[in-house]
Structure 1
Amino acid sequence: MTFQTKMLNTVFIKPTVLAFGLILSSQVWASAADDLKAKLALMNSFEAKFSQQVKDEQGELLQSGQGTIALAHPLKIRWEQVSPDETLFVSDGEKTFYFDAFSEQVTVMKTNGLIDTTPFILLTTRDSAQWEKYQISNIAQGYRITPKPGIDSQVEILDIAFNKAQNLSAIKVTDLSGQVSSFTFKDSRVNGKLAGSLFSFNIPEGVVVDDQTQGE
């Protein structure tokens, strides 16, 4: 298992493959993709608290958690989980830092290297080349994103839901392990001014640093 796989499984706590029995026409896909991109184009920034539930393939609850999320264009993410474990995932648009407080380890990666591993990154980019790598279809209250054949993604299905006010309300991630992580947002704020410090990370003294940007 690569570290990127392990990291994404930790951030989304092992959410995976659900088979489709329906092949969508290119016209339907284009309409869904255009609709989703139009909604996200109005969201220059987003921040909220989240609650998380992780279930196995049989629907049994494995774990619950809480934390906060902040997103901004381009490719800026701050995903902080405060329970059951303290972990922090921060991208400044160029480098991404994953900090596990319990193990006292920081892993540093190039953000561009993560784009193909999860469609979650689509929430923070308007790059048409990245969007072309995924299929988008309509589902109840939102959209389903799946990687096209040949895209090496650790996330097989990403469901995005919007509330009646057309604000991002929930995300459900299904990954290769067979587990599903559902995130529900509350106290959300769209297009508020976010401090640049939210997307920067100062490596604490004394922690183990795994710098994977070297030689990439």
Structure 2
Amino acid sequence: MKIRFAVLLALCAAAASARADAVDTLREFVRDVKSGSAQFTQTVTSPDGAKKKTSSGNFLFSRPNRFRFAYTKPFEQVIVADGQKVWIYDADLNQVSSRKLSAAIGATPAALPAGGSPRRTSNSPLPAAEGLEWAAAKPKAKDGAFDSLKVGFRGKELAAVEIVDSFGQRSLLQFSQFKPNAPTSADAFRFVAPKGADVIEQ
């Protein structure tokens, strides 16, 4: 939502400060929020915008580089980062895949909330939209797995993360019931492959 200026000169500085606040909020979030939990809805849109897939579940993270996505709809899937590896378990296929954290975390919207540092990105304010203040994060590394990442805040509360990967696919996570610095158990970020599951190392 773009601000409509009633008196351009009087509101220009204030509007610029409001947009800059989103970058400040992002930095404060990474600095101060060491863990958290939330419910989420994820919408993945194809590069041409024609196809959308929606899923939902709950999200838990603990810095550095530990997170757990438990998808419950439309099918069960668990994604766990234990600080060293990222594990993906598909319950329907009874299949597990894993890869080193360094090769995976940049491609997931959990990159910044769970472990990313603003120093690795070029941050800039964006216009407010959908009731949120947004900050953009452009990766400084040219070989990054995503082209852009933006983070939306409702006040100081993390409300959304959107990532566009190098293929143009857009993933939007919208959070509700976010609890900053929620207590977490180390067991939540340990993954043990279910008995009989196929395990694929990538």
Under a length normalisation based on structure 2, what TM-score does the superposition of the two structures give? 0.76
Return 5+ residue gaps in structure 2 as ranges: 1-20
SS in 2 for 1:123: helix
Q: How far did 1:123 drift?
A: 2.2
Residue pair 2:65, 2:115 contacting (<8 A) in 1 also: yes
| Structure having the larger proportion of residues in strand | 2
Equivalents in 2 of 1:108, 1:118: separation in Å? 14
The corresponding residue for 1:137 is 124
Give per-residue Cα distances to partners, 1:51-76, cap 9 Å, x unaligned: 12233345445222111111111111
Q: How far did 1:171 drift?
A: 1.1
Count of equivalent residues: 178
Q: How far did 1:105 drift?
A: 1.3
Residue pair 1:119, 1:147 contacting (<8 A) in 2 also: no
Q: How far did 1:192 drift?
A: 1.5
Equivalents in 2 of 1:109, 1:149: separation in Å? 20
Cα–Cα, structure 1 residues 131 and 119, in superposed 2: closer, same or farther, change >3 Å? farther
Residue pair 1:92, 1:199 contacting (<8 A) in 2 also: yes
The corresponding residue for 1:108 is 98
Return 5+ residue gaps in structure 1 as ranges: 1-30
1:154 aligns with 2:141: no
The corresponding residue for 1:163 is 154
SS in 2 for 1:203: coil
- Identity of paired residues, percent? 27
Equivalents in 2 of 1:174, 1:116: separation in Å? 11
Under a length normalisation based on structure 1, what TM-score does the superposition of the two structures give? 0.72
Higher mean displacement: 116-125 or 180-189: 116-125
Q: How far did 1:208 drift?
A: 0.7
SS in 1 for 2:192: coil
Cα–Cα, structure 1 residues 59 and 211, in superposed 2: closer, same or farther, change >3 Å? closer
Cα–Cα, structure 1 residues 89 and 38, in superposed 2: closer, same or farther, change >3 Å? same
Equivalents in 1 of 2:80, 2:22: separation in Å? 29
Cα–Cα, structure 1 residues 153 and 103, in superposed 2: closer, same or farther, change >3 Å? farther
Q: How far did 1:131 drift?
A: 4.4
Equivalents in 2 of 1:96, 1:193: separation in Å? 21
Amino acid at match of 1:143: A
SS in 1 for 2:195: coil
1:96 to 74, 81, 86: 86
Matches within 5 A, 1:38-49: 38-49=28-39
Q: How far did 1:149 drift?
A: 5.0
Residue pair 1:119, 1:155 contacting (<8 A) in 2 also: no
Mark the structure with the bigger radius of gyration: 2
Residue pair 2:57, 2:71 contacting (<8 A) in 1 also: yes
